[in-house]
Amino acid sequence: MAFLHPWACVLVSCISVSLVGEFNLSDLYPPLWNESPGQFSDYRVENGKHIIDPWVYPERMGMYKILVNKTASYFEKFAPDNEQNILWGLPLQHGWQYTTGRLVDPSGRTDCGYETGDHLCISVDSWWADMNYFLSALPFLGAVDSGIMGISSDQVTLSPPPKDQTKFCLDVSSCQSSFPQTMSKWNTFYKHLQLTSSSFDDLLKYLWDAHTSSLKDVYKVFEDRLEYYSEPEADFGRDWCVALDYLATSRFPTTFIRVSEFQKALPPRVLVSGDKAPFISNFTALQNTVLLGLNLLHKVDSATGFLLHVSYAFTGSGISNVAVNLKETVQGLRIWKRGMGEQGRSTGLKAKEVSLNLKGNGETLSNFPTQLQQFQKPQKVSRRLFSDEMEQVLEERLRGPESGGIFQRKADKMKPKIQKQRTGI
């Protein structure tokens, strides 16, 4: 793959994300990774079937562990030690959900998930847990169906939750019946995984196709679960789903190191009433900035208005520079998404030298390859997206030391542009 997007957040203000560092890989495994089942024989068997309870944290994590282990050989050509296995993103995200308290009962009616109660319990009332269920059950059962796991489709079944059982599929047959298109996409991914001719970029495409399809199938089904959360946390859940769409379009590499890196920028706990990025005192500057960026990305995705110009460079395992610039004269992120979709992928990779401004030299719209002109639909920006808070964010986040110095040269230039947009176009 020619270019790997590190992060698809940030609109309306210039937000810098710098993720660098050296890691001890063993320290980055999800919680209870070593204690979780690593093979089918670690689960109980009834009537010739392996019974897995995905509402117990180690048992759901075990599904991921088996999946990552069974697919390891197919990623050896990309890097040793299974580090480039793009399925790592699934267990790492689940581990982040567990660590940050997002799998507990948000209604407070039970002690499910709480340290003072059943701390390994995964609550069916948790929006995060329900959405994640379909990012564990479908890829896992899809792998079983593909033959990659070494057992037949009728040899494994999942235990139902304590309520709302009809909302969940429990085995290969029921998941294929309920979600035929998504199961087909997971099957396609595993078929290409077994082809020696498949490139890393090919695999990312099929993985993200299946990933986003899994979430879109059930987003509306569990939307009412968000009512259990504070407004900031519910908004973050919605923002996160939008951000995933951009990560998918960018074919973000969900490898062990990449996911471990960017999860440091995500909220370390459930958001509560009164939390307002970028002013959450016990969050890092990076976490505050990314949380704000995700929210703004969601707003602009809905209201449209700008074209991102992103500068980035990679050094070693980290991202040495991620910068975002705004062009007030143009179109929304949907143009970029369409250009990076299958239709515009080939021209999009070339166009990123301009539209994503890899050298940060402020190219103009006239530099775009003619093939991308078909995606242009200029629109005005809604002034409600700008506020006094945004000016303060520019002042404190982008000019201050917490920005890593990336935007200090650009702050004076960008602030007048935003002020101009606030007063009208």
Q: What is the pLDDT of residue 304?
A: 54
Nearest to 203 by CA among 212, 194, 213: 194
DSSP codes, 347-383: HHHHHHHHHT-TT-----GGGS-GGGGGG----PPPG
Q: What is the pLDDT of residue 216?
A: 95
Whole-number Å distance between alpha carbons of 147 and 191: 10
Query: How many other C-beta atoms are found inside a 10 Å radius of the C-beta of residue 56?
Result: 16
- If phi > 0 it is left, if psi is from -120 to 50 it is alpha, else beta; for residue 252 that is beta
Q: What is the pLDDT of residue 23?
A: 55
Dihedral of CA atoms 413, 378, 420, 240 in degrees, nearest 10, equals -70
**Element containing residue 139 per DSSP (H, E):** helix 137-146
**Orientation angle between helical segments 137-146 and 180-193, nearest 10 degrees:** 60
Which tokens hold the place of 198? Answer: 């498949």
Query: Tens digit of pLDDT per residue, the chain (425 long)?
Result: 333 233 343 433 333 344 445 556 777 999 999 999 999 999 999 999 999 999 999 999 999 999 999 999 999 999 999 999 999 999 999 999 999 999 999 999 999 999 999 999 999 999 999 999 999 999 999 999 999 999 999 999 999 999 999 999 999 999 999 999 999 999 999 999 999 999 999 999 999 999 999 999 999 999 999 999 999 999 999 999 999 998 999 999 999 999 999 899 999 999 999 999 999 999 999 999 999 999 998 888 887 533 343 333 333 333 333 334 333 323 445 555 555 566 555 555 554 444 444 444 444 434 434 433 443 343 333 333 434 444 454 445 444 444 444 444 444 555 565 555 545 54
Q: What is the pLDDT of residue 396?
A: 52
Dihedral of CA atoms 251, 252, 254, 260 in degrees, nearest 10, equals 180
Nearest to 135 by CA among 62, 59, 72, 212: 212
Whether residue 356 contacts residue 7, with contact meaning beta carbons closer than 8 Å, is answered with no
Q: What is the pLDDT of residue 22?
A: 54
Q: What is the pLDDT of residue 27?
A: 78
Q: What is the pLDDT of residue 360?
A: 47
**Location of structure tokens 């059982």:** 165
Nearest to 232 by CA among 259, 261, 269, 281: 269
Q: How many residues does the chain have?
A: 425
